[in-house]
Amino acid sequence: MKKIGLPAIAAAFTAVGLVFGEGRSKTHVVVDHDTLWDLSAKYLGSPWKWNEIWDLNRAGVPNPDLIYPGQELEVPGPGAAAPEEEEPEPAVEPEPVPAPVPPAAAPPAEDSRAPETPEPAPQAEPWRKEIGRAYPHDGSMKASGKVIRESAGSALMEAGDRVLVRLDRRAEVGPGTVLLVYRKRNFLLDKKKGVELDGGTYFDDILGAVILRERRSSTKWAAEIAAVNTPVEPGDLLKFPGRP
């Protein structure tokens, strides 16, 4: 194996230093009449590269036209790239954030139920309108029966009392049939005695109504007094509503 002497090793290191030293900056001491223009021509090979020297020395040379004798300036070596000024990145404007869109209101749920039909108002029984009326006693009002006895032993009967009635055999009736109770009355009264006087006009006065409940025989029925304008008595007559 061939030995390498010290002079050869030194020469190799010198060559490496030259290679790695290329492009490094050096220091220049300013003398009279020096300008960055002249220094650029001397060290960089072109006076037009003066700004590269100024870029390395801006901290000590605020004005490139004013340098002073004895001032040390850093000069870039041959092949050294002048530091490039970083251009500020353009400010990126944030994209406008769209305003949140409120969710659409859900349509009201349809009611699948059928509309409720209002119940008709209860109608008053037509026969109730006849209670309290009086008709001239001219023989046109025909009786279909009469009250023959009270069930509670009272001569004067009110609504809700039970009575026994006798009807004409030809009367077509059944449980629930309503009959009006009337009485022949003279409206000429002795106010002191409270009795009817002869000579007055007689009327058929509608006193109240009874509802048939239960048949007792072919002509007798147990009935209930439904409404009265005047207490009912045995002997009062019965007629169908609306009939004369």
CATH number at residue 32: 3.10.350.10
Q: Is residue 99 part of a domain?
A: no
| Percentage of residues of the chain with pLDDT beyond 90 | 8
100 domain residue, yes or no: no
Q: Which residue has the higher pLDDT, 213 or 98?
A: 213
Let me know whether 143 and 224 are in one domain. yes
Cross-strand partners of 180: 209, 239
162 within domain boundaries: yes
- What pairs with residue 189 in β-bridges? 196
In our burial notation (b when 16+ CB lie closer than 10 A, e otherwise), range 10-25 reads: eeeeeeeeeeeeeeee
Count the helix, strand and coil residues of the chain and give each as a percent rounded to the nearest 5: 15, 25, 55
pLDDT bin (cut points 50, 70, 90) of residue 38 is very high
Q: How many CB atoms lie within 10 A of CB 203?
A: 19
The 10s digit of each residue's pLDDT in 48-91 is: 999 998 998 988 888 888 888 998 989 987 655 444 555 666 66
For residue 87, tell me if it sits in a domain. Answer: no
The answer to which of 56-65, 109-118, 187-196 has the lowest mean pLDDT is: 187-196
DSSP 90: P
Question: Would 47 be classed as within a structural domain?
Answer: yes
Residue 110 is assigned to a structural domain of this protein: no
| 131 in the same domain as 235 | yes
Within a domain: 92: no
Q: What is the mean pLDDT of the chain?
A: 75
Please tell me the total count of domains within the chain: 2
Rounded to whole angstroms, the Cα distance separating 187 from 134 reads: 10
State the average pLDDT over residues 180-203: 66
The answer to whether residue 112 sits within a structural domain is no
Taking alpha carbons only, the member of 175, 161, 124, 125 closest to residue 236 is 161
What is the span of the domain harbouring residue 41? 6-75
How many whole angstroms separate alpha carbon 219 and alpha carbon 144? 11
Q: Which stretch of DSSP H or E encloses residue 227?
A: strand 220-228
